[in-house]
Structure 1
Amino acid sequence: MREKKNIDLTIGDSVREKKIIEDLIKDKSGLLYSTELLISIILLVFILGIISNLSDDLNEKVLSEEEFSSLEDISIKTCDYLLNNPGNPENWEENENLNNGIVSSNIIPGLAIKNKKIENNQFYSKSSNDEKVITNTISYNKLIKIKNNYNQLITTNLFNNSFKSSIAIYPLNNKIRPITMGYGFDNNFGDENNEEGNIIVVNRTVKCDFYSNFVVYNFNDYELFRDDYKRDEICNHDTNPNLTNHTSDIRTFWLCKNFRVYKKSLEEYDFYLLSDESIKNSNSYWILESLNRTNNNKERLNQEIIDLNPFFREDLENSSNEIYSIHFNTPKNNINDFKTVLVAIPKNMTNNLIANDELKYDYFKSQEVNFLLKMRYK
């Protein structure tokens, strides 16, 4: 067997070095070693190149302190704008093109609510200062319009395609579902590298009106006065000798309200009596009557949803409008379980509310929510 040559690379003699090189050229084993060395060097250069590229890429993705501070400032100002301004134009959510995904570039969305004067002459009349923004309250209708047109309204119109963002509301009432929209919910907000460090999250606690603007009467909105509530309306049962008197006694009290319904309104609205699930424990009774169809018979109030449309349609068949009275008799020791509202819902919304399981008492009250805005640079 052929022995391998021992080579001393420390010898400085030029002749010896020349002989060593010549031996390497002639020696197949030496050629093998030099080929392995060359391959190792190539692999090392390749690996160093990859590491260098990854390092450069990561350096580009990590925001500088100045950039991060700027993003934080923009996020806070954007959140404050959305919550405290109705948008431009103020009634932008009423643009019918939004229902078809057609968004004007002139719309800058906002979620704040302004008091408005309402005189529809259909089922109720209400007026208030139409100049003042309702503080710390956002519009559910505007929120849904943004959700359905998020990319155009927020990414393009508000941010000019410079940011990725998402909006969410998380109701404190767990009977109401959260609403999420934008990047980060249907896909990874950070992207494939999950750059959570480059994301700003702004959180505010505000009220959302949900469907409260469709409430004709909130029967819990009364002022208790000693053993009774402070009446601001006359009950027809107290003045008609043929009807049972509705004066409260030591155990129960009567809550009585009057309202007008126009026949035309039945073509546009659906009327419901909605109660919290606790109504089944309240031991309450109710009466619905018109001036021409009075009633002494109390019915147990134990349903969360009562459709009033059949009653109104029958009663208004030969009349253009009618004044109705609704009466509730509730034990004073169960008053906290009595939570009921009368609502008038636009007919084009009713089926959607039923399908989404939103025809519920809680959705027709303003509710506290956590409002979250997430932002990052594109």
Structure 2
Amino acid sequence: MDHKGFIFSLDVFLSLLIMILILGISADAMDIAGNRIDNFYSEQSHQRIADDACDILIKTSGSPDYWEEMRSASGTSPGLADTNNSSGTNKLSSKKLEALKNNPELMDKLIPDGFKCSVTIYPFDSSLPILSIVNQTNSFNTEIYVANRTIVYNYNSYVIYSKLSIEQSLEANKSHYKCPHSEINHYAHDLPDFNDKIPGWVCDVFKIGQDTLNSTDFYLMTDPPHILDQGALWMIDSPNNLSATSERFEACPMDVTRRVRDLGKDGVLILHIHTSADRNMPFKVYILGVPSGTPVSDVKINYLGLKSGYFVLKIWN
């Protein structure tokens, strides 16, 4: 009887031991599963924060709409969408990008306390530089959450005050502006005849506000930089100060700041382009306004116009 009781007690003990082991393993498994679930939801939550912040930046213009023009960033919330955009694309404002670059602390309004971030634009065109808008330092051991969107943007806030084109289309080369030089027989700027390849002048007016004359540098540029038309010439003057001097184009940006500022006091300027009237040698001429002090190395034709790229927001804590 005692022997049987001993065997029974041993069986009970072994059963209890196995149950304890099973419960212990189950508890550990539940803890591991719980931690994984917590980590999963934490990762999903952080990724959602990155996605939401990215969408706010590229799809809204911020608050107020023209926050980038305010002297103080206090009381503003960043958004980079172009206020005047009606194309339905994610078009960003170069001025808002510059404002966020100068006030990176505004990102604190879009991400939780303790988080850091970076905002970078990677252009599709590899000849364009990568734009780093916000660049906070991250630890190599930190989990990074990334939101990536396709956008269009202006590389800079440069302004084209005038553009004249000599194109292959005959209709595109017609000018509706009557140049004042046409009133002076000796310096008459007759229109070119592209049918018979008779050289002539294509002229047009442009205006620059007095408040921007002293804060802007001006460059004359052609696209392509090396134009084939050997008879191509240019001059800039005004109706009250007509010039008789024409110059040849150069392959690099030509600084015309002093001339534009002097003539701009009259309010209206005229850009005159002489062409050989060969529509098989098309080219475009730009007068470009850039912020004073901009390095000439940053004045490039391929920087002009809308560019496409990836907008990448990274956050971590």
TM-score of the superposed pair, with normalisation by structure 1: 0.62
Go from structure 1 to structure 2 and tell me whether the alpha carbon gap of 1:134 and 1:223 turns closer, same or farther (over 3 Å shift). farther
Cα shift readout 1:155-209 (whole Å, capped 9, x = no counterpart): x2221425332110122333431112445xx64x4x24254xx523323232335
Indicate which of 91, 106, 110 corresponds to 1:153. 106
In 1, distance between residues paired with 2:169 and 2:206? 23
In 1, distance between residues paired with 2:38 and 2:150? 25
SS in 2 for 1:87: coil
Is 1:202 aligned with 2:148?
A: yes
Q: Which amino acid aligns with 2:128?
A: I
Give how far 1:282 is off.
Answer: 3.5
Identical-residue share of aligned pairs (%)? 23
In 2, distance between residues paired with 1:271 and 1:246? 26
In 2, distance between residues paired with 1:69 and 1:245? 69
Indicate which of 286, 301, 310 corresponds to 1:341. 286
In 2, distance between residues paired with 1:63 and 1:239? 82
SS in 1 for 2:237: strand
What residue in structure 1 maps to residue 292 of structure 2? 350
Go from structure 1 to structure 2 and tell me whether the alpha carbon gap of 1:136 and 1:302 turns closer, same or farther (over 3 Å shift). same
Cα shift readout 1:298-339 (whole Å, capped 9, x = no counterpart): 4211143222233245546xxx5243221223442232xx34
**Equivalent residues in 2 for 1:283-302 (5 A)?**
283=229, 284-295=232-243, 297-302=245-250
User: Is contact 1:205–1:371 with CA below 8 Å preserved after alignment?
Assistant: yes
User: Is contact 1:207–1:366 with CA below 8 Å preserved after alignment?
Assistant: yes
What residue in structure 2 maps to residue 171 of structure 1? 123
Q: Which amino acid aligns with 1:83?
A: I
Indicate which of 204, 214, 239 corresponds to 1:267. 214
Cα shift readout 1:82-111 (whole Å, capped 9, x = no counterpart): 1121100112112224xxxxx42x221010
Indicate which of 244, 264, 268 corresponds to 1:323. 268
Q: Which amino acid aligns with 1:140?
A: S
Task: Report the number of matched residues.
Answer: 280
What residue in structure 2 maps to residue 216 of structure 1? 161
Give how far 1:273 is off.
Answer: 1.9
Q: Which amino acid aligns with 1:247?
A: P
SS in 2 for 1:372: strand
Q: Which has the larger radius of gyration?
A: 1
User: Is contact 1:81–1:110 with CA below 8 Å preserved after alignment?
Assistant: yes
SS in 2 for 1:76: helix
In 2, distance between residues paired with 1:303 and 1:174? 22
Go from structure 1 to structure 2 and tell me whether the alpha carbon gap of 1:62 and 1:289 turns closer, same or farther (over 3 Å shift). farther
The structure with higher relative contact order (CA 8 Å, sep 6+) is 2
**Equivalent residues in 2 for 1:187-266 (5 A)?**
187=137, 189=138, 191-193=139-141, 195=143, 199-208=145-154, 210-212=156-158, 214-220=159-165, 225-226=169-170, 228-238=172-182, 240-242=184-186, 243-250=188-195, 251=197, 254-261=201-208, 265-266=212-213
Please report the RMSD computed on the Cα atoms of aligned residues, expressed in angstroms. 3.6
TM-score of the superposed pair, with normalisation by structure 2: 0.72
User: Is contact 1:273–1:308 with CA below 8 Å preserved after alignment?
Assistant: yes
In 1, distance between residues paired with 2:227 and 2:94? 30
Is 1:114 aligned with 2:83?
A: yes
Show structure 1 runs of 5+ residues with no match.
1-55, 98-102, 116-130
